[in-house]
Structures are given as C-alpha cells and as structure tokens.
C-alpha cells in the first residue's frame, strides 16, 4: 500500500516495532495493523510484550491464540505469553534428559534455564514459527510485531550449537549455555527466521522513539546493534511531538516544544540517514478504533475549552519519601522501571537530597545509557558518584574465567569457552559481580542505584538469585552465618526498591508486571514514583489540559491497586540537571498539598 507515512509505504510482509517502554510502539503497531487491514490486506498483529495491552486497546480478550478482531475486517491478533513460553521451552529441553543424565547434570541445566535469557529465547522460539511456518501464516499478507527481537536475543542464536557435550563434561562456566542447550533441532528453523529478519524484501524494523535526547541516544544504540548483525532495513518513527500551536500563552508547553526541537536538531548522527516519520502528541487515550484511526493522521489544532479541565491533584511529593528514607541513616535504595521514565534523574535527586542532609551517599548506575555526570553537573561534600562500566567489568570477568577455568581445558574446549564469553549474558554476570561489591557499602552509608532498563535488571536479579542458591548449597547444614546479595535485596530493613513509571497506560501496566516479578523473587517494592505528570502542574494548552485529565485514572490505579506509598513528580519547564534543580525536584517547591485528594487518595497496599 502507499501511505503518507514512510514506514508504511510499500510495506513488506513483516513489520517489527521496537523501542523503550512508554514511547507508544503498541499504539502505533495497532494503528498500523488497522490501516493495513482497512486497505484490504489480511493482517496478523502479534505482541511479545509481557505486559501486552493489545487486547485492552481493542476492547477484547486475546491471549495466546490467534483471535479475530470483530470490528476490523481482515485483522487478527495474538499475544505471546513469554512466561508460558519459557516454561514450555524448559519442559521440552529438560524432559528428554531427565532420568537419562545424572541428577546433578539435570539440576545444572534447570538452573541455567531459570533466567531471563531463557524467557527471551523462548519468546523468540514462539514467533520463529510465525516467520517460517507457511501453514500457520499462509493466509496473512502482513504480520505486525509489537516488540521486535533484540540484538541480544539474535546474538544468542548465532552462537555455536555444540554446547550439550560441553555442559555434560562440566567444562563450561556457563552464562548463556543453558538456554542454548538442546537447540540443535531448532537451529535450521532459527537460521531461517534470522534470515527472514535480515531480508529487506520481507522485513522492516521501525525504531520508535520520543523527541528526547536520552531516548534518541538509546534508539541510536539499538540501530547500530541491529545493523551490525545484518538487520539493516530500519525506519525511525519519532512519536508524541508537541505541536507548536500549543505553545501560545503556556510557559510549560513552550519549554517542552523548545526542548523537543533541540533534541531533534541534535539527533545522533547514526540516525540521520534513516527514513523518518514524526507523529504529533495526541490529547486522547489511544484505546478504541476511533483513537487508533486518528493516531497516524495529521493533527488539527484544538480549540480552547470553555472550562478549566486541568484537575487539582494532591499527592505526596518526592521530599516525603526522602524524609522516610533518611531516618534509616544508611541502606540500599534501588530505582527500577522501564527505560525512558526518568530513573537516572530521580536517583540523582534522591542522592543529592540525602547528601544535603549531611548523610554519606554513593550514587551509582548499572545503566550503560545513563550519564550521571551530566545530570548532576556539580558536587556535594557527602556524595560520591560511580558508574559500573559494563565493558570494563566484562573484560575483567572474561580474563578471570580464562585464567582459571580455561587453563584446565584443551584447545577445542577453550575455544568453546571463549565463544561463550563473547555472549551477551557474560556482561550480565560481570555487572552483577560489580553490583555485589557496591551494595556491601550500604551497611554504613546510603547507596542509591539507578538500574538499567527492566529486562536487564531482572536478568541481574536472576543472577543474584542463582548466586544465593549456590551459596546456600555450598553451606549445606553449616551453622556459619552468611548474607548473600539476594538476602539483602529481600530485607526491607536494608533495601528500598522504588518503581518509577509515567501516568500512562502502558508504563503503569509494565510497572505492575515488574512489581509482580519482584514479588516472585521475594522482593517487596517500597514505593512507586509517578514521574513527569502533567496533572501535578498547571497548564493552559488545550492538549496538555486534556492529557492531564487522562492521567487521573492511571494515578488512581497506582494509588488504589498497586502502591503501598507513592509520590507524584510534575513535568517541569526546565530539565532537572545540576544540584540546585535536583534539590528543587526533591523538595517542597511545587505548591502541591500533601493532604489526600478525593480524586487521588494517598494509596494503600494492593495485590498488583
């Protein structure tokens, strides 16, 4: 079909939408699928997002089966459940060897299959059939994927297949070997799937971003990573740009507009050559066919409403959380959440607020995309800052393994070990070891950690759990006291986890899924922070007023169903960089009452 949007012009059979949480890839994927179907095509829309809300967008239950969308002729949808896929994947690999191999080997394989790497591989395993099984998909002209496979997953699948014997002989210091064990039968199917992804006649990847410097830097890294492994047919889609028409007589809207335009002007060079589309910010929630139909159209300026639709929202601000944290005198404070929700800024604000109180603080990040130095742009006497460098930590770990485990191997075994140490999960293990060293400091000072995006964080926690189980096995019935990192994370007296989100449907759903994952690991989140809220400030722009009103239901969901305590942080005119602005962000300078509002109560513990 021909479209005024480049990313849909002469669309190939497979379309993949990828990007950080909250950038709008689900809404755009759904709108694109509807537009293709309206053009007379048979379309299958597939979500591989664990917090998928495709069913909510269309107002029907979908689940892990191909389901026709009644309101759209020619459109069907499927939501792949990564957790169910991972369990089926584990059963398929472990089942044939149970009772055949020694129990110790079977337990080792099960241990290696417990991590997030397995979930990624299993989800890929599910949709490779959609790329290669002509019987299953023969009736569809287009297959639209919400959440593309990552470069991480594809690099795993490109590793050699000779791992089973390597594992059984106990040669591996395995990082990604577990998920890859027993894949030999699937390798031809996986190769066909990867070939399909790399074929520009069959596949197109659409990188979805917002007009923010950090988000554009992140999508530039994704572009380069995918390009390096042969996925070169990429388009850039910048979503949610504030129209210039909304800036009249609104200081906040004017500041946002200037900030976004500056980010677009200084876009990373790696993105400048990509075909690019821009979609303006919409005032409405992207649920239902009417909203989806308007998403890809050019916007008309809104008229000024007769009455003030900006809600008067009351909730605790960030300073109240800082006050509670400070009473402990020391401890680990971890900020978690999807990329793009503002964890780095909030971590820096918490750290400077604690340090200004005269408390010793170590601010650190395990997010390779974070730049704490730029955010702080200054120093405080009681504040130290560090960054876990994944590349440096990985090289240190790689050299250690080669010098110990590798020294005992023959040449073929060492070659396999070196190959494994080039896999992506090696980085996760190395970062975990650095993480473990830092959190020990929390016994005598505050350690505020800005974590990597959620998927990486959960991998890190899986590694923490594996370490805990290994230490427990080694200790056996010994009465010797020991404390593992996981025990520290599970102890609310030592660790406070803050989940950061935005007052939008998808980020809240993803944050709720993160909370469930943490609870399964025995970690109870201490608080939620709703960042960049329009409802927490005063605006005159008609579009922003409407968005402020739309936020109320999401804020209420956090307050009433998910959070034991929460804070609301407003969208600010100026980027909160530099110590003074960060202190203002964490302080009582917004004129927001701490008195509970009937609209948004201060929250009580929900089941999540």
24 is catalytic: yes
Could you say which of 26, 118, 314, 375 is catalytic? 26
Single out the residue of 379, 531, 355, 365 nearest to residue 449, CA to CA: 365
Report the distance separating Cα 366 and Cα 114, nearest Å: 22
172 is catalytic: no
Single out the residue of 145, 116, 28 nearest to residue 428, CA to CA: 116
> Which residue has 């492994």 as its token pair?
229
Could you say which of 214, 464, 484, 506 is catalytic? 506
Cα distance from N-terminal residue to C-terminal residue, the chain: 42
Could you say which of 19, 20, 21, 24 is catalytic? 24
Report the distance separating Cα 370 and Cα 388, nearest Å: 10
Instruction: Report which DSSP code applies to 309.
Output: -
Could you say which of 47, 49, 365, 541 is catalytic? 49
408 is catalytic: no
Pairing mode, strands 383-387 and 361-365: parallel
25 is catalytic: yes
Report the distance separating Cα 600 and Cα 554, nearest Å: 10
The residues, any chain, with a CB within 8 Å of residue 459's CB and separated by 6 or more, are 115, 116, 117, 425, 428
Report the distance separating Cα 455 and Cα 461, nearest Å: 10
Could you say which of 20, 25, 282, 343 is catalytic? 25
Single out the residue of 474, 558, 486 nearest to residue 520, CA to CA: 486
> Could you tell me if 325 and 495 are in contact, meaning their C-beta atoms sit under 8 angstroms apart?
no
Cα–Cα distances in angstroms (integers) from residue 20 to residues 49, 185, 217, 218, 337, in the given order:
11, 33, 11, 8, 11
Report the distance separating Cα 457 and Cα 461, nearest Å: 6
> Could you tell me if 238 and 218 are in contact, meaning their C-beta atoms sit under 8 angstroms apart?
no
> Could you tell me if 29 and 158 are in contact, meaning their C-beta atoms sit under 8 angstroms apart?
no
> Could you tell me if 15 and 30 are in contact, meaning their C-beta atoms sit under 8 angstroms apart?
no
506 is catalytic: yes
Report the distance separating Cα 500 and Cα 451, nearest Å: 11
Single out the residue of 40, 7, 570, 543 nearest to residue 304, CA to CA: 543
Could you say which of 18, 19, 20, 27 is catalytic? 27
Single out the residue of 221, 210, 233, 222 nearest to residue 15, CA to CA: 233
125 is catalytic: no
Expressed in percent and rounded to 5, the helix, strand and coil fractions of the chain are 50, 15, 40
Report the distance separating Cα 319 and Cα 255, nearest Å: 25
Report the distance separating Cα 178 and Cα 112, nearest Å: 4
342 is catalytic: no
Instruction: Report which DSSP code applies to 559.
Output: I
Catalytic residue set = 22, 24-27, 49, 506
């Amino acid at each position: 079909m021909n479209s005024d949007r480049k990313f849909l012009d002469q669309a190939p059979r497979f379309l993949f939408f990828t990007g950080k949480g909250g950038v709008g890839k689900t809404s755009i994927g759904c709108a694109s699928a509807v537009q293709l179907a309206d053009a007379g095509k048979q379309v299958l829309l597939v979500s591989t997002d664990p917090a998928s809300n495709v069913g909510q967008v269309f107002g029907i239950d979908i689940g892990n089966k191909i389901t026709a969308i009644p309101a759209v002729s020619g459109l069907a949808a499927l939501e792949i459940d990564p957790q169910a896929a991972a369990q089926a994947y584990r059963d398929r690999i472990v089942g044939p060897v149970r009772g055949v191999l020694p129990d110790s080997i079977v337990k080792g394989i099960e241990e290696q299959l417990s991590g997030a790497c397995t979930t990624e591989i299993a989800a890929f395993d599910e949709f490779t059939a959609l790329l290669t099984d002509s019987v299953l998909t023969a009736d569809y002209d287009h297959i639209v994927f919400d959440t593309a496979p990552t470069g991480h997953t594809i690099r795993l699948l490109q590793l050699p297949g000779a791992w089973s014997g390597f594992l059984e002989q106990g040669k591996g210091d395995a990082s990604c070997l577990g998920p890859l064990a027993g894949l030999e039968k699937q390798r031809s199917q996986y190769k066909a799937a990867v070939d399909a992804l790399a074929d520009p006649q069959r596949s197109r990847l659409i990188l979805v971003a917002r007009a923010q410097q950090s988000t554009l830097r992140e999508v530039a890294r994704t572009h380069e990573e995918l390009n390096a492994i042969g996925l070169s047919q990429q388009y850039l889609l910048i979503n949610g740009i504030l129209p210039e028409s909304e800036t009249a007589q609104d200081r906040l809207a004017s500041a946002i507009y200037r900030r976004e335009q500056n980010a677009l002007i200084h876009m990373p060079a790696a993105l400048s050559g990509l075909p690019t589309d821009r979609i303006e910010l919409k005032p409405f929630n992207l649920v239902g066919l009417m909203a989806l139909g308007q998403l890809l159209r050019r916007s008309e300026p809104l008229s000024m409403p007769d009455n003030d639709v900006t809600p008067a929202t009351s909730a605790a601000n960030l300073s109240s959380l800082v006050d509670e944290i400070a009473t402990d005198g020391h401890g680990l404070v971890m900020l978690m959440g999807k990329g793009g929700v503002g964890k780095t800024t909030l971590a820096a604000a918490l750290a400077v607020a604690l340090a200004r109180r005269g408390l010793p603080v170590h601010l650190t990040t395990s997010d390779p995309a974070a730049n704490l130095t730029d955010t702080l742009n200054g120093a405080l006497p009681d504040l130290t800052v560090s960054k876990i460098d994944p590349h440096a930590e990985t090289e240190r770990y790689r050299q250690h393994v080669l010098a110990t485990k590798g020294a005992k191997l023959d040449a073929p075994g060492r070659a396999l070990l070196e190959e494994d140490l080039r896999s992506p999960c090696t980085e996760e293990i190395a970062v975990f070891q650095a993480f473990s060293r830092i959190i020990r400091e929390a016994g005598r000072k505050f350690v505020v950690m800005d974590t990597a995006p959620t998927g990486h964080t959960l991998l890190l926690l899986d590694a923490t759990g594996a370490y805990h189980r290994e230490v427990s096995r080694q200790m056996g019935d010994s009465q010797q006291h020991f404390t593992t990192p996981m025990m520290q994370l599970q102890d609310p007296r030592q660790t406070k986890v803050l989940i950061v989100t935005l007052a939008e449907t998808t980020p809240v759903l993803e944050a709720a899924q993160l909370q469930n994952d943490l609870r399964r690991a025995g970690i109870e989140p201490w608080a939620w922070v709703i960042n960049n809220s329009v409802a927490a400030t005063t605006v005159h722009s008609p579009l922003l007023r409407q968005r402020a009103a739309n936020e109320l239901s999401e804020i209420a969901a956090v307050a009433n169903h998910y959070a034991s305590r929460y804070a609301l942080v407003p969208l600010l005119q100026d980027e909160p960089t530099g110590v003074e602005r960060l202190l203002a962000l964490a302080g009582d300078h917004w004129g927001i009452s701490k008195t509970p509002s009937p609209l948004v109560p201060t929250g009580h513990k929900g089941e999540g």
